[in-house]
Amino acid sequence: MQRETIPRWAEGQFKLREAMRGWIKASVDRWKHTPWSGGHDEGIFTRTWPAYYLLTGDRTAYDFLDTLVNEFIDCPLVEACTCFLSERDAAEYPPDQRRRPPFHGYPADQACFVHAPENYAWFLTHVAHINPSPKVRQALEDCAEHVGNWCSETEPWYDWQEHRFRSSIFGTLRVRDYPPYDFETIALVRVMVIASNAYYVTQDQKYLDVCTDWADKWARIVLECDAEQGFPVALFPCPDSQIETLYGDIGKRLSGRTKFNYELGNLLLDLYYYTRKESYAQAVHKMLNTDQDWSAPAQGLPRISSILAAKYRSVTSDKSLDSRITEAADRMLADESDNRPAIVIMNKSTEQFLNTPGLVYVQVYKDGRILLDNRNTAILTTAFMVTQETRYLEYAMDLAVNRFYDSHYIWDGRELGCRGSWQGRNGVAMHNVMAPMMCSAMGGFGMLEGERPWFEVRYIQNDGSPGLPDNVAALFLPSGPNQRVVRFYNRGDVPEQIRVIPDNMQVEPQGRSIRAISATLDGKPLPNAESPITLPPQTTVELKIDLR
């Protein structure tokens, strides 16, 4: 075979992987001697690492995650968040007493709906997907069992008759099921995700049952809401006229409506995959069609939420959003400016600059103009998945790697806690790098909001570790539920051998999984569908796997 120039998509993927590898190694070196201290969001700066490990098999990431999750499980203290308590109740928790012994792994007396689930939904469950060891699995179930009240020693969190959480502030030994805490907010999806992940890891039906009991209600709320007004972000067990009286400032803050919720959409698509309940897919379709913001960034910060459109398309095979996706991507490609993206950190004295606080991307032009940089790698990646045109993907990769290189001087993430999800280097990776890197290679969406892994293929190296060898890039070409097509490029000087396993195969109504029946490499049949394949040096080859 004639050796060829490295394809642009492969070069871009290598750069993204190498950028992530460098950050992870530096981050491990920085934090490996810092023990877990019991913070409510201490582990989520690694939320992009498990998916990266599945792509690369990088043991640096895995070994640090394994150490950190064991410290989390064994930690004698856990933070009791007070930010949603009344002033009187918060006074019970002086700052020096907010970290206290947990019971069944979770805060025993109280924890808020926003922060307390973060380590469980965005750290523990992610690690469980790559390391479901008995200890990690037990820790996941130790928390998940409370979601559906399966622990006789603790207070019930969930009201099965009313299909709702009894409170938005609860611990394992105390549930505040009285005003101003007995409302249910959509943010409790983070707690339900713990049960969803427990189902993925254990296949125990009870976890799926509580998820669908809750999701049936929220899907109905989305479908029945007025499209112009959107659906409520919180449900109160009283008439609207009494919300302000009973719930005070919290009631004011949470009595609004929204047209789109990315975390809810993610959960509904996972549950649709498991159950094929049409209402789940319909609710996501309505959110994507009535809200215009998912395809645009907020405050100059491109968000990963637009990748939900690609996940919806993959799970449901509905292509009705394709033109909207490609039109948004084409507008980004039309920007022919000669500048690179730049990251600007706002502080109190400069946050009025461009009317935005925090971290933003800007474009600085030679004529002195400074504009918000609204290009979005998730939309560009989604456009590639819709069209198979690599120009969208290559543009996304170039943009992502430049932004990530520019992020080297900002915070690593652990010192920011959950703010690192949008402000630190973890945020830059999550909102820029992960979509083009993971979707291009594995045809899926990682585990960015706590959801189950979603990949169309997985790779196994000769030594049994997951992922691609360092010298091999992969381009997954979406082709429908009955086929997997992957193009490979080996930049090395020697052949590489890997196995390719079809993943996330659709389930027939009878419950029989579709399975691989045959495969070809550059048109030549393989002995069986999961035979190892050999990738020649500096050459592109194409693998096709047929499913039934």
Please spell the DSSP secondary structure of 297-353, one letter per residue: -BTTB--GGGHHHHHHHHHH---TTHHHHHHHHHHHHT----PPEEEEE--TTTTTG
Residue 357 vs residues 31, 344, 349, 352, 411: alpha-carbon distances, Å: 28, 10, 10, 7, 16
Q: Could you tell me how many residues make up the chain?
A: 548
- What is the DSSP code (8-state) at residue 84? T
Residues 115 and 117: their CA atoms lie apart, in Å, by 6
- Per-residue pLDDT 10s for the chain (548 aa) are 556 799 999 999 999 999 999 999 999 999 999 999 998 899 999 999 999 999 999 999 999 999 999 999 999 998 888 888 888 888 888 877 788 888 888 888 888 888 889 999 999 999 999 999 999 999 999 999 999 999 999 999 999 999 999 999 989 999 999 999 999 999 999 999 999 999 999 999 999 999 999 999 999 999 999 999 999 999 999 998 899 888 888 888 888 899 999 999 999 999 999 999 999 999 999 999 987 677 776 656 677 788 899 999 989 999 999 999 999 999 888 876 655 667 776 554 454 555 555 667 887 777 777 777 888 899 999 999 999 999 999 999 999 999 898 888 788 888 888 877 777 888 889 989 999 999 999 998 888 777 888 999 999 999 999 999 999 999 999 988 889 999 999 999 999 999 999 987 655 444 456 788 999 999 999 999 888 999 999 999 999 999 98
Which residues, 6 or more positions from 40, have their beta carbon under 8 angstroms from its beta carbon? 78, 79, 81, 111, 115, 116, 118, 119, 417
Q: Which residue, among 116, 18, 8, has the nearest Cα to 404 in the 3D structure?
A: 18
What is this structure's pTM?
0.93
Please spell the DSSP secondary structure of 114-153, one letter per residue: TTTTHHIIIIIHHHHHH---HHHHHHHHHHHHHHTT--TT
Crossing angle between the packed helical segments 390-406 and 8-31, to the nearest 10 degrees = 30
Residues 324 and 304: their CA atoms lie apart, in Å, by 17
Domains of the chain: 77-258 (no CATH), 472-547 (2.60.40)
- Amino acid present at 324: R
- What is the DSSP code (8-state) at residue 464? S
